[in-house]
Structure 1
Amino acid sequence: MGATLLSAGPSWAVHGATPGDFDGDGYRDAVLPAPGADVAGRAGAGAMVVLYGSKSGLSAARRTTITQNTAGVPSSAEEGDAFGTATATADLVVSVPYEDTAEGKDFGLVTVLWGSKGGLTTATRLPLPADTPSHADGARFGLDLAALSLGGNGLRELI
């Protein structure tokens, strides 16, 4: 089985810090995906809750809920999108495998939510791999994700 590698670009919070540390404070943060969550009346649009860590552990008080309706996140919540179906840390990579796009119905998309001192505050939609079929309904791009360190250079690759 082949896999496509995508460069996730520079990763401020991960490089030189603890993996999964989205705000760069040296403590691991946790992502709780809820791809079946209803968002703004749209069933199964999907959401994620990020709990930020500290020296005393994860904090329920320091949390953020992220959906496709969150400012800076590409696209918008639609019924059945399943935002958060798969995640990987490089800052935080999120799939939306049932997103309807210009490429087709349920084509899917993958977004990087970039870490900063303020937490996960900006996002970028990743480009489709070159070998992705065009205009294929049901492609479900991003149905599964993994971020790997390859070559010992400190950079992470997304599969």
Structure 2
Amino acid sequence: MQYDSSRGITTGNRAVIHQDSAGVPGATEAGDAFGKALASGDLDADGYDDAIVGIPREDIGTAADAGGILVLRGSAQCLDGAASQWLESSAPTAGETFVAGLAAARFTADTPGDLPASAPGENTDDGVVWVFPSGSGGDTAAGSWTYDGGSLGAPVTDALYGAAIDD
């Protein structure tokens, strides 16, 4: 990551964060696709943007390529793994590719920010988008909801719904 300053972006103020960084859950594995989807936004209403990292091919238990989300909390100092948060689907399945796409958004006035994240491989390539609500403690699976093509009256079978999310 390249940080901004009052003088603009400089080469001296940067950080490299990966799954083997201190405090970051998981471990680097070949093919995880760490960072394939990226977004930023102040999800916990502390005045600092958070970095949201999609890892769509992360193995979860025995579910190969199930995928997950790493949220790196922003602060006055920087982003680091110490205050990171891990999110995954409620029932990780092989090939789900959870978090092929993500964004930071605000769907309701009840939360400082919401996190839509897609799993186009869900239900044998039908696809689904999860929405994680956030609060002062960050995003949470509690209160999360999903929608798919059927929710919008669109075709469902092999639709790969959520293959791309644009904020």
Same fold (TM over 0.5): yes
- 8 A contact 2:148–2:161 mirrored in 1: no
Question: Of 98, 118, 138, which aligns to 2:137?
Answer: 118
Paired residue for 2:126, among 100, 107, 112? 107
Matched residue type, 2:163 = L
Q: What's the counterpart of residue 49 of structure 1? A: 70
**Structure with higher helix content:** 2
Residue by residue, what CA displacement relative to the aligned partner does 1:37-91 show, whole Å, maximum 9, x if unpaired? 000111000011110011111131000111114xxxxxx1000000010001112
TM-score, normalised with respect to structure 2: 0.66
Please state which structure has a larger fraction of its residues in strand.
1
User: What is the RMSD computed on CA atoms of the aligned residues?
Assistant: 1.5
| % identical equivalent positions | 32
Matched AA of 1:116: G
Runs of 4+ in 1 over 2 A off after TM superposition: 126-131
* Equivalent residue, structure 1, for 2:96: 81
Structure-1-length-normalised TM-score: 0.69
Any gaps of 5 or more consecutive residues in structure 1?
A: 1-18, 70-75, 148-159
- The alpha-carbon deviation at position 112 of structure 1 amounts to 1.0
After superposition, the C-alpha distances for 1:116-155 in whole angstroms (9 at most, x for unaligned) are: 0010013211354534114x2x2100000112xxxxxxxx
Task: Tell me if 1:140 matches 2:160.
Answer: yes
* Cα distance in 1 between the residues matched to 2:99 and 2:43: 16
